[in-house]
Amino acid sequence: MTPVLLETQLLVVVFMFALAVLGKLHAPKTPARILYIAVEATLCVLLLVSGHLLVRLATAMLMISATWVLAEMRASRPGQGCGCFGVLSDIPVTRATVLRTGLLAAAAVAAFPVPRTGLEVAADLPGWRSLVFLAEVGLIAAISPEISTAVRRRPVPCERRAVPLRATLSVLHASETWRRYGLSRKSEPVEVWRELCWRFLVYRADGRGGEIVFAVSLADGNVRAALVEEEAAVPEDRRALARSHS
C-alpha cells in the first residue's frame, strides 16, 4: 500500500469513532454505553495526537473484538441491535453490520506503520488523500444498514416509541436520583406504567414508610422522583403525584 492509502485508513478510523461517539451521546445512557463512549472518545483523541504503536494496537484489537462480538450476536441474538451509532443502530445486526466493522478493523491494522499522527495526516488531506477518504467513507455508508433505515422511516415520536423495560431500568439505576434514595439494584418495582414519553416505576421505601415513584423520560433519559406517604399510597394518588413531578 502507498503511504497515502495507509494514512487515509487512520483518518477513516478516527472519523468513524467520532460518529459513533456522537450517536451514543444522543441516545439514552446506560453504564455499558457510557463505557463505550469513554473508550471510543479516548482512542479517537489519542489517534489524532499520538503515533504510538500501543494506541494503534489498542484500536485494532477493539475493532477486531467488535467484529467477533457482532458476528456472535447475529447468530445468537438475531433480533438485537448493536447500538454502534446510538438509536440508529437499534435495528437487528446484519451481515452488512459485521462487514462494516470488519473493514474498520482492517483499516485499523493497515494504519499500524503510519508514523504520523491523525492531525498531521489531516493537515495534508487536500488532494489525493481527500478523494481516497471520501471514497472509503462512501463505501462504508453504502453498506451501513442504518443509512437505508433512516431514509426509509421517519423518526418515531417518543410517545409511540417502543422502549424495553430493561432499558428504562438501566437508565434509572445509573442516575443520581436512584443513588440518592439508596435502593438496591435488585429491588423490584411494585408497579410500572407508562404515560406518553414517561415511564413510572413505584418502589417500596424501606425504612421511610410509603413508596418512591420514579419518572424516567423515554426521550432524553431524565429521571425524577417523589416520596409518597403511606396514607397517600393508593394508585390514583400515586399517578396524580407522578404527573405533577413530570
pTM, to two decimals: 0.60
Phi first, then psi: what are they for 80, rounded to 5°? -95, 145
In the predicted structure, residue 1 carries a pLDDT above the cut 70: no
Domain regions of the chain by residue span? 3-155, 159-245
* Helices assigned H by DSSP within 112-233: 118-123, 128-143, 145-152, 165-173, 176-181
Q: What are the tens digits of pLDDT across the range 142-174?
A: 888 877 666 555 567 788 888 889 889 999 999
- Average pLDDT rounded to a whole number, residues 62-76: 90
Mean pLDDT, range 107-122, rounded to an integer: 91
Q: What is the pLDDT of residue 151?
A: 59
User: 3-class DSSP state for residue 201?
Assistant: strand
Cell of 23: 450517536
